[in-house]
């Protein structure tokens, strides 16, 4: 059944005439877009030395479009979303805060007295990566070891012990540094605060109510039905397709698909997850200083989401790197475009993600249907004030 919101959108299209394209022409243009995308992705995988890529694209007033370099890939469209999980964990932390089950100024000493030198670090510092905690994955050959032993299960206690014995990055609250340790701790705090497992919490608040039917979290090995639908991933000479994601847990343990993540992205950025996007915007920290910033020309991070000014306007995004995969969830609010992609090569030196987003946005902007859909969106809806910011003169997205 069509919703009231969808009906209003359709009426706006008919009244404005901005997208007055007959159905045959529209279908032909969408077929052309699909062909162009597939051809571009074929060239892309060869140039980037990867074998598989999955991309979901949502433009205003169009169904989510799924693209791949190989139709066979659609049978194996599950992938570990890695650090995109952090958006779920941040949203979960906010839910528990709203329910009075935790406070953002609670410190780690309340939850983990066994780690006394971390005792004054707050929940909010963990959310914004300003705690100074070292990242346990920054130990020699961590990804190589993990790829070589894909069935190894990691305990949170062991991972925290690794981090606890590493040097602190800076005094808590006096800088910014990305660390999986922060979100591993947030997942554990969520469990302690609620008395429920992380798997139960994700399902209760997000997976089931949003009908994310292809999204899954496990504190142990994946069930066989998940393993059989997993896109194969590669790292160095290893087949790094995971059997579990216990090495990241609340920092990166969710498995999903591109189309499910488009649904999730729209929930985040439409404020369907109450106040989450507001918190992202309000608590942004400049990557260079770790201090609060309102300048959107300054690359920043807050509540697991980065922001950067691009040739397509401001982009809100969360990347996800796993052994064997490079993923991104990106939102271009000045264009009304959402993109989720996964590349099955976990090479940390790769520029694949930025070049793939450039390819997608460039192709979308040239197609008649998607170009007019974006134009209609820009003329019809009230865009954020930051869409008036001058765009960078470069024609490509930066690496991230």
Break the chain into its structural domains and give their ranges.
75-388
Under 8 Å between Cβ of 230 and 150: no
Band (240; pLDDT cuts 50, 70, 90): confident
Helices and strands (H and E) in the chain: how many: 13, 13
The rounded mean pLDDT for the chain is 87
Q: Which residue has the higher pLDDT, 198 or 68?
A: 198
Q: What is the pLDDT of residue 309?
A: 92
Band (383; pLDDT cuts 50, 70, 90): very high
Percent of the chain at pLDDT > 70 equals 89
66-80, 209-223, 257-271, 292-306: least confident range: 66-80
Is the CA virtual torsion 293, 296, 299, 302 positive or negative? positive
Average pLDDT rounded to a whole number, residues 243-252: 96
Instruction: Please spell the DSSP secondary structure of 162-178, one letter per residue.
Output: HHHTSPPSSSTTS----
125-129, 211-215, 240-244: least confident range: 240-244
Under 8 Å between Cβ of 106 and 123: yes
Task: Compute the half-sphere exposure of residue 197: CA atoms within 13 Å on the CB side of its CA.
Answer: 8
7 has pLDDT over 50:
no
Percent of the chain at pLDDT > 90 equals 62
Band (395; pLDDT cuts 50, 70, 90): low
Return the residue matching tokens 């070049």: 355
**Top-level class of domain 75-388:** alpha beta
Band (119; pLDDT cuts 50, 70, 90): very high
Tokens at 18, concatenated: 């901005």
Q: What is the pLDDT of residue 275?
A: 86
Phi, psi values for residue 244, rounded to 5° = -160, 165
- List, in order, residues 6 or more apart from 9 with CB less than 8 Å away: 61
Rg (CA), the chain: 21
Closest by Cα among 271, 384, 300, 281 to 335: 384
Phi, psi values for residue 341, rounded to 5° = -140, 155
Under 8 Å between Cβ of 82 and 321: yes
Q: d(Cα 377, Cα 284) in Å, to the nearest integer?
A: 27
- pLDDT tens per residue, range 88-118: 999 999 999 999 999 999 999 999 999 999 9
Helices (H), the chain: 4-16, 23-47, 85-98, 123-127, 142-148, 156-164, 180-194, 198-202, 224-228, 258-269, 276-282, 352-366, 368-380
Pairing of strands 79-80, 254-256: antiparallel
Q: d(Cα 387, Cα 296) in Å, to the nearest integer?
A: 10
At residue 291, the 3 state secondary structure works out as coil
- pLDDT tens per residue, range 60-69: 988 899 988 8
378 has pLDDT over 90:
yes
3 has pLDDT over 60:
no
Q: d(Cα 354, Cα 61) in Å, to the nearest integer?
A: 25
Q: Which residue has the higher pLDDT, 8 or 275?
A: 275
């Amino acid at each position: 059944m069509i919703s009231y919101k969808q009906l209003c959108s359709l009426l706006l299209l008919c009244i404005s005439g901005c997208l007055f394209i007959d159905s045959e022409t529209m279908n032909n243009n969408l077929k052309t877009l699909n062909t162009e995308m597939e051809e571009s992705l074929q060239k892309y995988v060869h140039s980037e030395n990867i074998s598989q890529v999955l991309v979901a694209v949502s433009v205003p007033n169009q169904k989510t479009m799924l693209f791949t370099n190989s139709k066979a890939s659609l049978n194996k469209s599950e992938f570990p979303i890695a650090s995109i999980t952090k958006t779920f964990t941040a949203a979960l932390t906010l839910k528990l805060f709203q329910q009075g089950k935790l406070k953002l100024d609670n410190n780690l000493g309340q939850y983990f007295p066994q780690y006394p030198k971390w005792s004054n670090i707050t929940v909010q510092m963990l959310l914004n990566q300003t705690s100074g905690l070292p990242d346990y994955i920054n130990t020699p050959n961590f990804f190589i070891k993990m790829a070589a032993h894909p069935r190894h299960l990691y305990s949170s206690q062991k991972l925290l012990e690794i981090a606890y014995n590493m040097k602190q990055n800076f005094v808590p609250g006096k800088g910014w540094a990305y660390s999986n340790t922060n979100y591993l701790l947030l997942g554990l705090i969520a469990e302690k605060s609620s008395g429920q497992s992380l798997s139960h919490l994700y399902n209760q608040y997000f997976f089931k109510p949003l009908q994310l039917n292809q999204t899954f979290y496990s504190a142990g090995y994946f069930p066989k039905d998940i393993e059989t639908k997993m896109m194969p991933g590669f790292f160095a000479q290893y087949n790094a397709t995971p059997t579990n994601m216990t090495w990241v847990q609340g920092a990166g343990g969710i498995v999903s698909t591109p189309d499910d993540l488009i649904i999730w992205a729209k929930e985040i950025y439409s404020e369907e997850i109450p106040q989450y996007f507001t918190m992202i915007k309000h608590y942004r920290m400049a990557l260079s200083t770790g201090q609060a910033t309102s300048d959107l020309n300054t690359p920043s991070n807050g509540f697991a989401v980065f922001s950067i000014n691009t040739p397509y306007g401001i982009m809100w995004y969360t990347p996800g790197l796993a052994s064997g995969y490079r993923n991104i969830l990106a939102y271009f609010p000045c264009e009304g475009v959402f993109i989720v992609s996964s590349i099955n090569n976990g090479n940390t030196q790769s520029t694949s993600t930025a070049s793939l987003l450039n390819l997608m946005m460039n192709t979308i902007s040239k197609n008649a249907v998607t170009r007019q859909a974006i134009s209609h969106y820009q003329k019809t809806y009230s865009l954020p004030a930051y869409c008036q910011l001058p765009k960078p003169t470069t024609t490509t997205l930066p690496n991230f």
